[in-house]
A and B are shown apart, each in its own frame.
Chain A
Amino acid sequence: MNPAGTAVALAAGLAAAGAAAGALLPGRARVPAVGLCTAGLGTAGLAAGTAALDGVRWSARLPGLLPLAGAHLAVDALSGLFMAVAGAVVLAVAVYGIGYAAGRGPYGVASRGVQSALPVFALTLVLVPAAASVSTFLLLWEAMALTSLVLVLAEQRGRPAVREAGVWYAVMTQLGLVLLLAGLALFAAGAGGETFTALRAGAPALSPAARGTVFVLVAAAFASKAGMVPLHPWLPRAHPEAPSNVSALMSAAMVNLGAYGIVRVAFDLLGGGPRWGWLLVLGTGALSAVHGILQAAMASDLKRLLAHSTSENLGLVLVGVGAAGLFASAGHPLPAALALAAAFLHVVNHAVFKALLFCAAGSVARATGLRDLDRMGGLRARMPATAGFFAVAALGAVALPPGNGFISEWLLLQSLIEGLTVPGVSTAVVLPLAVAVIALSAGLSAAVFVKALGVGFFARPRSERAAAAGESPPGMLLGMGLLGLGCTGLALVPGMLGDGLSRAVAVAAPGGGPPLTGDSLELRLEHLATSLSPLWAAAALAAGLLAALALVRVTARRGRRSHVKLWDCGGGAPTARMSYTATSFAEPLQRVFDDVLAPEQGVDVTPVRASTYLVERVSFRRSVPDRIERRLYQPLIGAVDRLGEAARRLAPGSAHRYLGYGFCGLVALLLTLAASR
């Protein structure tokens, strides 16, 4: 029995059971049952992915499914990597979700619709990488879109912003589908078949124009799913408005599929894209990374901050993918393999720490009802475990040692620097810029996460709800603990993934040996003869810290503590309201990037009725809008609205006009026929 196949079948069965449980079971039994089924599904997905990473291959044909086409599934190392990531995230978030949704009312995240959609969404996350024909891929893609839409709309009764987020999400997902459908249908038409094997075989027969068109369409569609500029506005709307376990799934598992799609179609099926296409991908990734982290720096809504950070990280992944493609199209498979391996490792790392970040944010939201960093504070004392988990994940996100993000970004930088050896003007110009972008985004992400952790968790509570917070129930802590374990494991022993990653890279960019190997102690880059040993580094860091602490302890003068009143400039004791808020923390950054961000501010002065010289009330507003949305989307939406208003004149209710349309059509037909003889 093929372990991957059994695991996939098990996952499908558990999804069906979970959906049925969610739809049919009453109140209190619903959430645990669905959570357990989803956790089992995640485990099965993880097992299937791990088996595939170990070299197992599996494929299946289901001709009766999906009328006019037929379902084809196939698992190889590349899909196994993404399936494993999705499965692991689903497992942890499902365990977390049991506690998160328990005890909520009958509407919202514990309702029938949401709970029955959750296992199906998880199944699609696990199965999209296993699709092996155009129709199956699109079916699973759209099913993922539909179920995630239902999940995003979970809390629509309580908050009106959720509806708008849902509509944006639905329309932009459909736009991505249109682009994807056009690209893949063109590909299938040119290659003469719709299964991936047929596409792979027929790809050399495509003309360069068709190849370029397919590449651009498909890359645009997958870039939209990954939250890349300019097709990104759905991400900062949908992720915050969804319940936190759903946000974790979307940010940590769904957006990865955008990267998977580009690698699968452009590297594997098309056999490589045009050079300018890869430059486009790299440029988009770099731009999105900078844009995302800047928006995250300005955000004071915790979940919006995390959503923008997702955009940044996926931008870095696409920088790696684009660089790999660039090197491969120039005929240098070794740097290409390394860049791709770095991108994949970053996908894995990002999945784990982003899921943990969202879960912790969900804990905070559940305990305090707040998403606004400016009103939180003092949570470290009240929710120590959550704060600890957030800190671990934030360490990964800022890409500093000993966090897990450091390793993948270091690998990415290594691959880009090594790629400077590839000849060509474009590489010489673009790669140093890419390195600079990575450095900039790493620096800014440090600021962002210090803001999130410090302002959100430290200092004193800035509102009553923050003061009233309590720790999350053990179920949620267990889920977060699993993810924390993952983070630490990836930070300390990433070498264990070396072989799997190499196999995955070999599917997409064959040629050259495995780029990464490793074991529990070190991670080796084969072609560069370099190695990194995070375990030793972490041990050294820990030893150094202990030594420093010991030194301080020993040499500190045992003096008496004296209690003295601090000079407070005559203002009185500082209150919690006077501490740094997220907005004030970000203000220097906003001043530095003023030209790029173009913040808007407005001051309203309400004078007293009796005299305009006396002020009754002043209100100040500042917002940092998304300039791309402002410049690109709002005019477009305005134009579409005007088109709709103008088009209403087509149906004015006059029977004469309606019959006149027909008459004109008839006369036009007759004239054409008479003239064309």
Chain B
Amino acid sequence: MDDGSGSGGGAPDAGGRKGPLRTGGAGGLPGARAGSGAGGDPAHVDGEAVQAARDAVHVDVPDAAHAVQAAPEADRAATPDRGVRTDRAVRTDRAPGHPPVPPPARTATSAPAPAGGDPGRPTAPHSYGTEDSVPRLPSLVPWLGLVSPLAILTCGAVLATELPGAAPLTACGPLLRADALTAWILLVVGAVATVACAATPAHLAHERPDPAAARRYHLLVHAFLAAMSVAVLAADLGVLWVAVEATTLVTAFLVGHRRTRASVEAAWKYTVICSAGIALALLGTVLIYYAARQAGVPEAAALDWTTLAARADRLDPDVTRLAVGLVVLGFGAKAGLAPLHAWLPDAHSQAPAPVSALMSGVLLSVAFAGLLRYKTIADAALGPGYTRGLLTGCALLTLAVAAALLLGQRDYKRMLAYSSMEHMSLIALGAAVGTPLALSAALLHMAGHGLAKAVAFCASGHVQRLLGTTRIGRVRGLLARAPALGTVFGLAVVALLGLPPFSLFASELGIVRAAFAAGTGGYAVAALVLALLAFAALAARTARMLLGPPPSPPSGDRAEAPVRLGPAAVLPPVCGLLACALLGVTAGPLTRLLTAAGDLLGGR
């Protein structure tokens, strides 16, 4: 089984290129290769040397790396018709006949600044500038990507100050509308996107410098954020659907960014499953439109949320029941709820880490917020029992699947993805209860989960880059090897486990209290037991990864110094964790907004 460790850029173009080049991903900790044995990815070592050579950009490349770099080319040239088996051939044929590659440089600084090699190592220094060029200042261009998330965050903050207590704002005629829920979701989107985009330069700095791919990546990320914002601000359910469908298409290429076999597979499954799901949601929307038209709503306003929410009691109950069921299935597919949940682990494990962070934090939240809009209409038309039953069923099923699959999990990125499913099911449970406290708690949980999961994915991206593997069993002693990274990852998992001071504790507490107060205590207990199983699995695996002494290097070298990541890699996750902790200690000025959003969704 592939350990999913192909990272770095792939073949530069689609077309007939056979076999992706496995570059990157191995950050020069030879101890990681100790236990790899026969299947032992010498291609990673090669890939790392090749990438290091490419990072250096200049001719000053050691001979061994040259020989290694020539070899994959030779392999590829010699076997043009072996098609996609090349990469496997590279892996297994590598060992004999090639000189042993010296331990690759630990290019552990993140910003594209001069990377310091280890003193006393035989290869050339991998510095960005050679002796005769001026040392470059770190470029500001990668940081320009922060402009749009910060803009979203600012808009959310402005709306948050204006809106609680005031009437909802509209713009662009009947198309855009902002109420308390919109403001909260915009804040969540802005915060998570800021963390993810601030962590992007550190990730991209270690990929192959392919300007076209990087341009496409940034374009897609910002298109994704734009589509998410339109989905949140939509006044019309049809526009909401179009925006959510657009995000599927945009993220398909983001998931498949790396051009490896596994990422193509993940992109295909993601696109097909989400498109099928969202098509069901379209059917639901069409049926709501039909019911609204039959209830006498004029054509121009038949999909407008405010009008529908006001006239929901006149909608035909049977048609609405069918429509809402389809919408729950459809938007639930995008939000990671069973039964159309299976794209989530594949997509999250194959996408680049900032994209996984965005998907887990932003996409799931916005899809669920769309579902909440339909829920208000359904509750007004059918009474709260129907959606409560439907959402509780989906939530408990998803939680059971996530907990069961966490118990035997071997890949830490998939582990984080199943943890996302677990938290989305808790949010769904809060939404199912339907009281204002429960809905406020669910919204708070969206915020906390988005931040914590973004930090966790960004940290896991660095772990994958440093160790070259996503198998839990091959990561040992992370706290000893890379203290800052290990601490950040550990704290993110602590936040996801629902421990204070992070806000997921307060929101889970709120959901359980509200569930008992509304009389659905049995479901809450079932959810708590399943969440305990997930807790045990997650805690055991994270402990195995983080704790313990650093593994000794295979050839009896002196013990390695701990890897230090630069501030550009550590600062964004730390800020995310601080924000999550602050939110958990006090909601402060956001309390009014949160209660207003909860009342909006559940108080009517």
Residues in A lying within 8 Å of B, measured CB to CB: 64-69, 113, 134-135, 138-139, 142-143, 145-146, 153, 156-158, 160, 162-163, 166-167, 170-171, 174-175, 178, 181-182, 185-186, 188-189, 194, 640-641, 643-645, 647-648, 650-651, 655, 657-659, 661-662, 664-666, 669-670, 673, 677
In the complex, whether B584 has a CB less than 8 A from a CB of chain A is: yes
In the complex, the answer to whether B516 meets A188 with C-beta atoms within 8 Å is yes
In the complex, the answer to whether B513 meets A134 with C-beta atoms within 8 Å is yes
Which residues on the A side are within 8 Å of B537 (C-beta)?
644
In the complex, the answer to whether B509 meets A181 with C-beta atoms within 8 Å is yes
In the complex, the answer to whether B509 meets A661 with C-beta atoms within 8 Å is no
Mask of B440-463 contacts with A, CB within 8 angstroms, 1/0: 110010000000000000000000
Which residues on the B side are within 8 Å of A644 (C-beta)?
404-409, 537
Q: Which 8 A-B pairs have the closest CB atoms?
A: A644-B407, A647-B404, A644-B408, A665-B339, A67-B587, A658-B342, A189-B516, A662-B340
- Known contacts A174-B532, A186-B521; A67/B404 CB under 8 A: no
Partner of B273 from the list A139, A166, A640, A659 (CB cut-off 8 Å) is: A659
What is the CA–CA distance of A142 and B440 in the complex, to the nearest angstrom? 22
30 A-B contact pairs sorted by A residue (CB < 8 Å):
A64-B591, A65-B585, A65-B586, A67-B503, A67-B587, A69-B510, A113-B487, A138-B509, A143-B500, A143-B501, A163-B548, A170-B543, A171-B532, A174-B536, A174-B539, A181-B509, A181-B512, A185-B515, A189-B516, A641-B408, A650-B404, A651-B345, A655-B269, A659-B276, A662-B277, A662-B333, A662-B339, A662-B340, A669-B329, A673-B325
Partner of B539 from the list A135, A170, A665 (CB cut-off 8 Å) is: A170
Who on chain B is nearest to A63 by CB? B591
In the complex, the answer to whether A69 meets B529 with C-beta atoms within 8 Å is no
Instruction: Give chain B nearest CB distance to A121 CB in angstroms.
Output: 13
What is the CA–CA distance of A157 and B549 in the complex, to the nearest angstrom? 5
In the complex, whether B128 has a CB less than 8 A from a CB of chain A is: no
In the complex, the answer to whether B507 meets A171 with C-beta atoms within 8 Å is no
In the complex, the answer to whether B345 meets A67 with C-beta atoms within 8 Å is no
- Known contacts A178-B532, A640-B533, A665-B339; A145/B549 CB under 8 A: no
Q: Apart from A64-B591, A69-B509, A186-B521, what 15 extra A-B contacts exist at CB < 8 Å?
A: A135-B506, A143-B500, A156-B547, A157-B547, A158-B549, A167-B536, A167-B543, A171-B535, A171-B539, A182-B524, A644-B408, A644-B537, A661-B339, A665-B329, A669-B325
Mask of B505-530 contacts with A, CB within 8 angstroms, 1/0: 11101101101110101001100110
In the complex, the answer to whether A64 meets B339 with C-beta atoms within 8 Å is no
In the complex, whether B569 has a CB less than 8 A from a CB of chain A is: no
Instruction: Give chain A nearest CB distance to B414 CB in angstroms.
Output: 9
Interface residues of B in 585-604 (CB under 8 A from A): 585-588, 590-591, 594
In the complex, the answer to whether A67 meets B586 with C-beta atoms within 8 Å is yes
Residue among B339, B444, B525 having the largest count of chain A Cβ atoms under 10 Å: B339
- Count residues of chain B with CB under 8 A from any CB of chain A: 78
Residues in B lying within 8 Å of A, measured CB to CB: 268-269, 272-273, 276-277, 280, 318, 321-322, 325-326, 329, 333, 338-343, 345, 401, 404-409, 437, 440-441, 444, 480, 487, 494, 497, 499-501, 503, 505-507, 509-510, 512-513, 515-517, 519, 521, 524-525, 528-529, 531-533, 535-537, 539-540, 543-544, 547-549, 583-588, 590-591, 594
Instruction: Give chain A nearest CB distance to B338 CB in angstroms.
Output: 7
- Known contacts A67-B584, A673-B322; A135/B280 CB under 8 A: no
Residue among B500, B584, B588 having the largest count of chain A Cβ atoms under 10 Å: B500
What is the CA–CA distance of A175 and B536 in the complex, to the nearest angstrom? 10
- Known contacts A68-B510, A182-B528, A655-B269; A188/B517 CB under 8 A: yes
In the complex, the answer to whether B269 meets A166 with C-beta atoms within 8 Å is no
Which residues on the B side are within 8 Å of A669 (C-beta)?
325-326, 329
Which residues on the A side are within 8 Å of B501 (C-beta)?
143
Which residues on the B side are within 8 Å of A189 (C-beta)?
513, 516-517, 519, 521
Instruction: Give chain B nearest CB distance to A178 CB in angstroms.
Output: 5
Which residues on the A side are within 8 Å of B525 (C-beta)?
182
Instruction: Give chain A nearest CB distance to B240 CB in angstroms.
Output: 21
In the complex, the answer to whether A66 meets B585 with C-beta atoms within 8 Å is yes
- Known contacts A156-B547, A178-B529; A142/B499 CB under 8 A: yes
In the complex, the answer to whether B407 meets A662 with C-beta atoms within 8 Å is no
- Known contacts A182-B525, A641-B407, A651-B405; A661/B340 CB under 8 A: yes
- Known contacts A160-B548, A188-B517; A68/B405 CB under 8 A: no
Instruction: Give chain B nearest CB distance to A107 CB in angstroms.
Output: 8
What is the CA–CA distance of A670 and B283 in the complex, to the nearest angstrom? 13
Partner of A67 from the list B515, B516, B531, B591 (CB cut-off 8 Å) is: B591
Residue among A65, A171, A182, A651 having the largest count of chain B Cβ atoms under 10 Å: A651
Instruction: Give chain B nearest CB distance to A115 CB in angstroms.
Output: 14
Which residues on the A side are within 8 Å of B405 (C-beta)?
644, 647-648, 650-651
In the complex, the answer to whether B594 meets A67 with C-beta atoms within 8 Å is yes
Q: Could you count the A-B residue pairs with CB atoms below 8 Å apart for me: how many are there?
A: 187
Which residues on the A side are within 8 Å of B318 (C-beta)?
673, 677
What is the CA–CA distance of A143 and B499 in the complex, to the nearest angstrom? 7
In the complex, the answer to whether A651 meets B342 with C-beta atoms within 8 Å is yes
Interface of A is mostly: helix
What is the CA–CA distance of A662 and B328 in the complex, to the nearest angstrom? 12
Partner of A68 from the list B487, B507, B531, B547 (CB cut-off 8 Å) is: B507
In the complex, the answer to whether A157 meets B480 with C-beta atoms within 8 Å is yes
In the complex, the answer to whether B524 meets A166 with C-beta atoms within 8 Å is no
Which residues on the A side are within 8 Å of B338 (C-beta)?
661, 665
In the complex, the answer to whether A643 meets B404 with C-beta atoms within 8 Å is yes
What is the CA–CA distance of A69 and B322 in the complex, to the nearest angstrom? 37
Instruction: Give chain B nearest CB distance to A632 CB in angstroms.
Output: 16
In the complex, the answer to whether B407 meets A185 with C-beta atoms within 8 Å is no
Partner of A181 from the list B528, B583, B584, B587 (CB cut-off 8 Å) is: B528
Which residues on the B side are within 8 Å of A142 (C-beta)?
499-500, 505
Instruction: Give chain A nearest CB distance to B374 CB in angstroms.
Output: 15
Residue among A68, A655, A657, A673 having the largest count of chain B Cβ atoms under 10 Å: A68
Which residues on the B side are within 8 Å of A65 (C-beta)?
585-586
Residue among B441, B513, B537, B539 having the largest count of chain A Cβ atoms under 10 Å: B513
In the complex, the answer to whether A658 meets B273 with C-beta atoms within 8 Å is yes
What is the CA–CA distance of A175 and B535 in the complex, to the nearest angstrom? 10
Instruction: Give chain B nearest CB distance to A669 CB in angstroms.
Output: 5
In the complex, the answer to whether B321 meets A673 with C-beta atoms within 8 Å is yes
What is the CA–CA distance of A655 and B540 in the complex, to the nearest angstrom? 30
Who on chain B is nearest to A158 by CB? B549
In the complex, the answer to whether A146 meets B585 with C-beta atoms within 8 Å is no
In the complex, the answer to whether A659 meets B539 with C-beta atoms within 8 Å is no
What is the CA–CA distance of A270 and B329 in the complex, to the nearest angstrom? 44
Which residues on the B side are within 8 Å of A67 (C-beta)?
444, 503, 506-507, 510, 583-584, 586-587, 590-591, 594
What is the CA–CA distance of A662 and B273 in the complex, to the nearest angstrom? 8
Which residues on the A side are within 8 Å of B519 (C-beta)?
189
What is the CA–CA distance of A330 and B508 in the complex, to the nearest angstrom? 39
Which residues on the B side are within 8 Å of A158 (C-beta)?
549
Instruction: Give chain B nearest CB distance to A353 CB in angstroms.
Output: 32
Partner of A643 from the list B273, B407, B480, B543 (CB cut-off 8 Å) is: B407
Which residues on the A side are within 8 Å of B272 (C-beta)?
655, 659
What is the CA–CA distance of A167 and B535 in the complex, to the nearest angstrom? 10
Instruction: Give chain B nearest CB distance to A125 CB in angstroms.
Output: 15
What is the CA–CA distance of A69 and B513 in the complex, to the nearest angstrom? 10
- Known contacts A142-B499, A167-B543, A673-B321; A175/B532 CB under 8 A: yes
Instruction: Give chain B nearest CB distance to A656 CB in angstroms.
Output: 11
Which residues on the A side are within 8 Å of B407 (C-beta)?
640-641, 643-644, 647
Which residues on the A side are within 8 Å of B444 (C-beta)?
67-68
In the complex, the answer to whether B340 meets A665 with C-beta atoms within 8 Å is yes
In the complex, the answer to whether A664 meets B339 with C-beta atoms within 8 Å is yes
What is the CA–CA distance of A669 and B323 in the complex, to the nearest angstrom? 11
In the complex, the answer to whether B587 meets A163 with C-beta atoms within 8 Å is no
What is the CA–CA distance of A37 and B440 in the complex, to the nearest angstrom? 38
In the complex, the answer to whether B543 meets A166 with C-beta atoms within 8 Å is yes
In the complex, the answer to whether A157 meets B408 with C-beta atoms within 8 Å is no
Instruction: Give chain B nearest CB distance to A240 CB in angstroms.
Output: 17
- Known contacts A66-B586, A69-B510, A166-B543; A647/B499 CB under 8 A: no
